[in-house]
Structure 1
Amino acid sequence: MNNKEIVAQAVYEVVEEQLTLAEVERLLENPKSVDHGDVAFPAFSLAKVFRKAPQQIAAELAEKINPDAFEKIEVVGPYLNFFMKKEVISSMVLKEIAKEDQSFGDSNIGNEGNVTIDMSSPNIAKPISMGHLRSTVIGNSISLILSKIGYNPIKINHLGDWGTQFGKLIVAYKKWGSEEKVKAEPINELLRLYVEFHERAEEEPELNDEARAWFKKLEDNDEEALSLWKWFRSESLKEFNKIYGMLEIDFDSFNGEAFYNDKMDEVVTLLEEKHLLQTNEGAEIVDLEKYGLNPALIKKSDGATLYITRDLAAALYRKREYNFVKSLYVVGNEQSGHFKQLKAVIKELGFDWSDEMVHVPFGLITKDGKKLSTRKGKIVLLEEVLNEAKDSALAQIEAKNPDLPNKEEIANQVGVGAVVFHDLKNDRLNNFDFSLEEVVRFEGETGPYVQYTHARAMTVLGKADFTVDPEAVYALNDADSWEIIKLLQSYPEVVIQAAEQYEPSVIAKHSIKLAQAFNKYYAHTKILVDDEQRDARLALVHAVTVILKEDLRLLGVHAPNRM
């Protein structure tokens, strides 16, 4: 039971004829200052019922409420301010965490329902850049958070593995490429060929006709074209998996655009059967005016299908294959119009599960205030950033703790974790500017700061040779430990909030607050002094290590025991 639930129950017992328990709980507030208690109840809503001033009602309620669970109840104007009994709450919270360990905050809200998560989705034959980081790490964190509350996440990497660019790539490879070079550095060489094609096509526009012809061959299952395409795809995937390995992220499916080539006719047939297709200037569209949206372009005048046709086929396939209870698309904010159209067309087809399709948008990463762009060469390679972050972490670890064993492994956990944490601590809709120096700092609101706090707390437990006893009573009543207890106690609600909002930053911000509260406690309190509260203090330190580690795990970040 959290503090609000305890206060709600106490207030409800004296106002049950006027308000339901849920109504009481909705009215409760968190005071802005600790001087005003832990929970506040405003009496305004009872003024009409009792026909008295809220100040008078607050005073009368204070007389009737059972004070057993509270240190004191103060009446301040129309507010009842509740101060919780610190010993009671702290012993309850510390006991729960000692018993449940990293399962603290788990629930079965999801009832094992499948949730498909469309995420990452890089284009074949192009490098994974910082631009792909957001979809990848936001999607991964959401999958971990949903799993904690009882859902079964299914991570889908909807690869960009089809389209006219493959015609261009085949032409470029046949004219200027070599098997040896592609095998040595697949992505770099394929990107070089792709760029060379564009440069030459400006002078020789007939190259574009050749590219279209080769893509037509590919669509018609020409043996040579198909063989080259499969090779480019498999070589690209090897490179992608190297980077996913650095991030320790895996996928349940790599079914990309090509997978749906033979599944789009069904979509067109369904739309025709429902009389939803209209012809407009030779193209086929679905009118979405009643949703306040532009028409969805299903087929171009030359008969070519579009992204939305493919995404409709993908949505139908995923519903049949996984019978999802939610289908998430972790895709940039600029695609919100596309996903509104997608949901509307599914709705028009009569599928109510369109309501469970959710676009989870996010803002841009910029560099020096400018958008990252592949075509213009303003690309920041994710692999390079991760390696630089690792080197920076190693340099700082060697300066702080030169005798640390497994320095390379820990530097990797800290460096990669720093990049991931920096992305996820930002509200996902916000744009942010990337600066490696800021990301890998051991001070401030960074991943390394939270990791270092966890390591510091583990060191305290190691020095004390302390093992928590789940059956013991650990009670604390000082102000600094109380701030930590409240953050620990709120953890199950924090996890649910992050899941409901598809917002990993809720978890990241909780970890920062908890790390800051612990460091303040560490600075002000002699934890290892041998007195009657020593074990209670160490139980608090243990609880901090458990929840910081779980916070970081839900973000896809390691929590080293030493740094």
Structure 2
Amino acid sequence: MITTYSLKQQAANWLQPLTELPVEQVISMLEVPPSSELGDLAFPCFVLAKSWRRAPQQIAVELSEQLGAAASPYATAAATGGYVNLSWNRQHYAPLLLNAIALPDYEQLQPEQKERIIIDMSSPNIAKPFGVGHLRSTVIGAALYRIYAAAGHEPISVNHIGDWGTQFGKQIVAHLRWSNPEQAAADPIGEALRVYIKFHQEAETMPELEDEARDWFRRLEQGDEEALELWRYFVKVSMEKLNGIYERLGVQFDEVLGESFYNDKMPAVVEQLKTLGLLKESQGAQVVRLDELELPPCLILKSDGTTIYPTRDLATAVYRRQVMAGDQLVYVVGGEQTLHFRQVFAVLRKMGYEWADHCTHVAFGLMRINGKKMSTRKGKVVLLEQLMDEAVARAAQIIAEKNPALPQRQQVAEQIGIGAIIFSDLKNARQNEIDFSLEEALSFEGETGPYVQYAHARICSILSKAEGFVNDPIVAHNAPMPEMWSDAAWELLGHLGSYREALARAVQLQEPSVMARYAIQTARLFNQWYSRDRIVDANPRVKADRLALAKWTGHTLERTLKLLGMAAPQQM
């Protein structure tokens, strides 16, 4: 069956005996020319220049003549500069390619080895509002989950809730000193945030508050019932709030295991480090030195005997490998934690765990709002729930202005508003910083979620007007129909055929933006084709085939948006 990748394979099969390069190398060298007028694929001859002792331009002329003879009548070859440009016989390959796209299993990759991939994602802190800063881990992790599944792996999503640590000592002190019972009953997370901010403000002139907070956390670790009761309250009200946000984002978890889950698993890790002679004293604390890697010491036990993040992450990794049977452990956490994970993975290796090489920190950059960084303790946080509400309200307003008769207007507004936020994040390479603008995210023009969703809705409208006329699957015609495969139609078809390549690249790079960019290009190429070629009122000889191309473009858009965690409305 023909796909874009197998077209590359075919080109490589023709070029291999002519170049005597390995087929895999030829495939990796093939490029898409900058202009469709130059052809469909280009082979650069510069690598051959040294061994052949001829100019690349001369080699290109020689290879194009030989390749043209080998590929005829299925393709033609021409030399341009130091490149051999290959153009496919559209009449021959287009039906085969579109039929391949229509196969039920086309969207699913078959990996050489299926792996169980544990994805640590979202991981908000208890008793804190779900700010926009936690959006990235959530939507990147959820997209990777779907991408891994589409690539044939077995992903397991874990929400590693931040429900333990010294901040809970601070939260308890703040709650006991300043919390208003009425406000806590009406808005428990908002009140928890207010008093948490107040704690840090007061601690600037009352340093004894920090000692009081450390004492409460020590009591919590020792199982003090009063401390535990307060802690359970914070967990309960936080999870109720979080679950509503996850539902709107369309995010689910296979496991929700907070840091506290690993409390009884940390002593074994500490004991193992002692047995191996890895623990060293440093200013009263216990650390693992990583001098040989030119890394700072990894803190395991603080001077007061309490644990810290690395201790819990070591226990977490061991549990995910040994109990959850993860082949790959993936941590979708901000780039500011890069040093932390380098230390944790290094300690795992020193403990003798070779599988530490299969632990990966999928880092991402900060998200700013109007250029400003967010900070919970300073009160500079934009609540995701409020941002989602505003996005949905603005989407509803746009619908009311442009299509007031739209059925299920509020549902579509939710799909557009939430989708705009998700897409605005995922279209960026994850390691880049993002300066989020709601106005830009909701635009129906440019590289936005609404732009892609509208292209899908337009296709649904086209197909509904021609119901019953779609020729599915497309068939080869006895009589040539060059008008069917115009440059715009052919470019769109070739792009649809590259879906599996894009998916494989997204897996390899652990980069959802690959699929977001693919969605943008799909919508753009469809709009270009739609503006140039008639579809519903086209010549009957080509109408059915054009409708088939439109149908599978819509299907590809829907499939790609689903990978990103977005809906594909049929009407907008």
For this structure pair, what is the TM-score category when the shorter chain's length is used for normalisation? over 0.9
1:99 aligns to 2:103 (yes or no): yes
Measure, in 2, the Cα distance between the counterparts of 1:114 and 1:343: 19
The range that moved more, 546-555 or 287-296, is 287-296
Q: How does 1:245-324 map to 2 (within 5 A)?
A: 245-324=247-326
- Structure 1 position 323, deviation (Å): 1.7
- Structure 1 position 365, deviation (Å): 1.1
SS of equivalent to 1:359: strand
Q: What does residue 30 of structure 2 align with?
A: 28
Query: Is 1:110–1:150's contact at 8 Å kept on the other side of the alignment?
Result: no
Query: Is 1:95–1:473's contact at 8 Å kept on the other side of the alignment?
Result: no
- Structure 1 position 200, deviation (Å): 4.4
Give the TM-score, by structure 1 length.
Answer: 0.94
Query: Is 1:264–1:313's contact at 8 Å kept on the other side of the alignment?
Result: yes
Q: What does residue 548 of structure 1 align with?
A: 557
Measure, in 1, the Cα distance between the counterparts of 2:208 and 2:293: 43
Residue segments in structure 2 that go unaligned for 5+ positions in a row: none
Counterpart AA for 1:345: V
Measure, in 2, the Cα distance between the counterparts of 1:69 and 1:235: 69
Measure, in 2, the Cα distance between the counterparts of 1:281 and 1:197: 27
Counterpart AA for 2:311: T
Q: How does 1:523-562 map to 2 (within 5 A)?
A: 523-528=531-536, 529-562=538-571
Q: What does residue 343 of structure 1 align with?
A: 345
- Structure 1 position 194, deviation (Å): 2.2
Measure, in 1, the Cα distance between the counterparts of 2:451 and 2:332: 28
Deviation sequence 1:153-212 (CA, Å, 0-9, x none): 111111111123323333343444465543432211222232344444555554444433
Q: How does 1:99-178 map to 2 (within 5 A)?
A: 99-100=103-104, 103-109=105-111, 111-177=113-179
Give the % identical residues: 45
- Structure 1 position 443, deviation (Å): 1.3
Give the direction of change, closer, same or farther, for the CA distance of 1:60–1:214 in structure 2 (3 Å limit).
closer
Give the direction of change, closer, same or farther, for the CA distance of 1:296–1:174 in structure 2 (3 Å limit).
closer
- Structure 1 position 268, deviation (Å): 1.5
Give the direction of change, closer, same or farther, for the CA distance of 1:173–1:257 in structure 2 (3 Å limit).
same
Q: What does residue 79 of structure 2 align with?
A: 75
1:484 aligns to 2:492 (yes or no): yes
Query: Is 1:99–1:470's contact at 8 Å kept on the other side of the alignment?
Result: no
Deviation sequence 1:481-540 (CA, Å, 0-9, x none): 011012101110000101111111111111111111111111111111242011111111
Q: How does 1:386-425 map to 2 (within 5 A)?
A: 386-425=388-427
Measure, in 2, the Cα distance between the counterparts of 1:176 and 1:54: 76
* RMSD (CA atoms): 2.0
SS of equivalent to 2:400: helix
Measure, in 1, the Cα distance between the counterparts of 2:226 and 2:519: 53
SS of equivalent to 1:387: helix
SS of equivalent to 1:526: coil
Query: Is 1:177–1:193's contact at 8 Å kept on the other side of the alignment?
Result: yes
Measure, in 1, the Cα distance between the counterparts of 2:489 and 2:17: 30
SS of equivalent to 1:451: helix
The range that moved more, 525-534 or 553-562, is 525-534
Q: What does residue 494 of structure 1 align with?
A: 502
- Structure 1 position 428, deviation (Å): 0.8
- Structure 1 position 220, deviation (Å): 1.9
Deviation sequence 1:355-398 (CA, Å, 0-9, x none): 11111111111122121111222110000000100011111111
Q: What does residue 367 of structure 1 align with?
A: 369
Query: Is 2:180–2:191's contact at 8 Å kept on the other side of the alignment?
Result: no
Counterpart AA for 2:419: G
SS of equivalent to 1:514: helix
Measure, in 2, the Cα distance between the counterparts of 1:49 and 1:199: 70
Measure, in 2, the Cα distance between the counterparts of 1:198 and 1:463: 62
Q: What does residue 528 of structure 2 align with?
A: 520
Measure, in 1, the Cα distance between the counterparts of 2:190 and 2:420: 26
Deviation sequence 1:271-294 (CA, Å, 0-9, x none): 122222222232222221222212
- Structure 1 position 67, deviation (Å): 2.5
Give the direction of change, closer, same or farther, for the CA distance of 1:218–1:530 in structure 2 (3 Å limit).
same
Q: What does residue 220 of structure 1 align with?
A: 222
Deviation sequence 1:323-374 (CA, Å, 0-9, x none): 2121111111111111111111111111111111111111111122121111
SS of equivalent to 1:366: strand
Give the TM-score, by structure 2 length.
Answer: 0.93
Counterpart AA for 2:406: L
- Structure 1 position 320, deviation (Å): 1.0
Deviation sequence 1:196-250 (CA, Å, 0-9, x none): 4444455555444443333232222122221221121011000011111110101
Measure, in 2, the Cα distance between the counterparts of 1:19 and 1:265: 56
SS of equivalent to 2:540: coil
Measure, in 2, the Cα distance between the counterparts of 1:41 and 1:203: 69
Query: Is 1:12–1:24's contact at 8 Å kept on the other side of the alignment?
Result: yes
Measure, in 1, the Cα distance between the counterparts of 2:175 and 2:336: 33
Residue correspondences, number: 559
Deviation sequence 1:53-83 (CA, Å, 0-9, x none): 5444433333333233644211234422101
Measure, in 1, the Cα distance between the counterparts of 2:211 and 2:82: 77
Give the direction of change, closer, same or farther, for the CA distance of 1:220–1:277 in structure 2 (3 Å limit).
closer
Measure, in 2, the Cα distance between the counterparts of 1:371 and 1:176: 27
Counterpart AA for 2:93: I
Measure, in 1, the Cα distance between the counterparts of 2:48 and 2:177: 82
Counterpart AA for 1:556: G
SS of equivalent to 1:331: strand
Query: Is 2:122–2:160's contact at 8 Å kept on the other side of the alignment?
Result: yes
Query: Is 1:47–1:53's contact at 8 Å kept on the other side of the alignment?
Result: yes
Q: What does residue 472 of structure 2 align with?
A: 469
Q: Which of 77, 86, 95 matches 2:90?
A: 86
Counterpart AA for 1:541: A
Give the direction of change, closer, same or farther, for the CA distance of 1:97–1:437 in structure 2 (3 Å limit).
same
Measure, in 2, the Cα distance between the counterparts of 1:439 and 1:144: 23
Measure, in 2, the Cα distance between the counterparts of 1:123 and 1:110: 38
Give the direction of change, closer, same or farther, for the CA distance of 1:50–1:423 in structure 2 (3 Å limit).
closer
Measure, in 1, the Cα distance between the counterparts of 2:336 and 2:327: 25
Counterpart AA for 1:278: K
SS of equivalent to 1:370: coil
Counterpart AA for 1:489: G
Residue segments in structure 1 that go unaligned for 5+ positions in a row: none
Counterpart AA for 2:335: N
Give the direction of change, closer, same or farther, for the CA distance of 1:206–1:13 in structure 2 (3 Å limit).
closer
SS of equivalent to 1:99: coil
1:511 aligns to 2:519 (yes or no): yes
Give the direction of change, closer, same or farther, for the CA distance of 1:25–1:175 in structure 2 (3 Å limit).
closer
Counterpart AA for 2:551: H
